[in-house]
Amino acid sequence: MSKLWSEPPRAIGRGLLISLISTAIVLPLGCLLVLLPIAVGSHIQNERLSLLLTIVPPVFFVLLVGGGSWGFLWWMLRRRAATLDAAFNPLGLSGQREVLTMRRYEGHIRGRKARVYFRRGPTLELYLSTPLQTRFSVDEADKVGTTLAGWLGRAPLALSNPALEGLRVFAMDEAWARNLLETPQAAEALKRLLRFEGEFRLRRVELIPGYLVLRLHFSNKVLAFDVDVNAEQARRWFENLIALAEI
């Protein structure tokens, strides 16, 4: 089954699991701090004590659940930010938060403009500037994606380089792309970018006008509260993008 088409069921499953865990925590607390105090308070003759029992515990419940949710979100965002900072700051890229859950890093690596974007999914995108103005993309081949591309009038290149077996290439300038892919350096760089050990399920290398891009999507983890990236991995990604850009 295509990894792209298998992701929606996985996302639904993760959502259901999170809902079940949340319910298992919130429901007992609600019974203990809301229903039970109200039931007990309704049988107490002392109006002041009855009022305290029916108001204070439910208010505490709301503060506990709301504060816990925001506290967990803050912890998760800080954890992700610290992980991404540790990965990309050593390369000379400075980061900042965008919206609530996104992060962006910018800087220069070996004289080339570099950008990194992280957003929910998780999705991680690395951009490296290049003067090239054509388009091509390389990813792992799958029947569903190739069939859909055929319906849209696009066909992948027939590759003669055995080092690229299992990869799928679409190109605007096919002659240029073939020349690039015949070089051993390009084949090795692409394999290292697409076939590394890590959590990302979908990997794609693209050339868009002005930038080489590595796009990484979705996680193999059932619950991913962090992003699996470190300084050494980030350095290798950009080293291989640079190797492609300099061919």
**24 has pLDDT over 90:** no
211-219 vs 200-208, strand pairing mode: antiparallel
What pLDDT sits at residue 243?
A: 93
Q: Which of 70-79, 131-140, 215-224 has the lowest mean pLDDT?
A: 215-224
What pLDDT sits at residue 1?
A: 45
* Mean of pLDDT values over 30-44: 77
What pLDDT sits at residue 53?
A: 76
**2 has pLDDT over 80:** no
CA distance 206 to 159: 17
Question: For 225-247, b where at least 16 C-beta lie within 10 A, e where not — what string?
Answer: eebbbeeeebeebbebbbbbbee
What pLDDT sits at residue 151?
A: 61
* Mean of pLDDT values over 49-71: 81
Q: Which of 4-8, 48-52, 158-162 has the lowest mean pLDDT?
A: 4-8
User: φ and ψ at 110, to 5 degrees?
Assistant: 55, 40
**220 has pLDDT over 80:** no
What sections of the chain are H helices per DSSP?
3-30, 36-41, 47-88, 143-151, 174-181, 184-194, 231-245
What pLDDT sits at residue 145?
A: 61
CA distance 239 to 247: 13
Q: Is 111 left (phi over 0), alpha (psi -120 to 50) or beta?
A: left
CA distance 59 to 66: 11
Classify residue 100 by burial, with Cβ atoms within 10 Å: 0-12, 13-18, 19+: exposed
* Mean of pLDDT values over 12-40: 75
What pLDDT band is residue 221 in, cutting at 50, 70 and 90?
Answer: low
Q: Of 161 and 131, which is predicted with more confidence?
A: 131
- Average pLDDT score, the chain: 83
CA distance 185 to 25: 53
What pLDDT sits at residue 66?
A: 81
Cα angle 109, 228, 20 (rounded to 5 degrees) comes to 145
Q: Which residue has the tokens 């504060």?
A: 67
Over residues 63-118, the pLDDT tens digits come to: 888 887 888 888 888 888 999 999 999 999 999 988 778 899 999 999 999 999 99
Q: Which residue has the tokens 């190797």?
A: 243
CA distance 210 to 167: 23
What pLDDT sits at residue 244?
A: 93
**9 has pLDDT over 70:** no
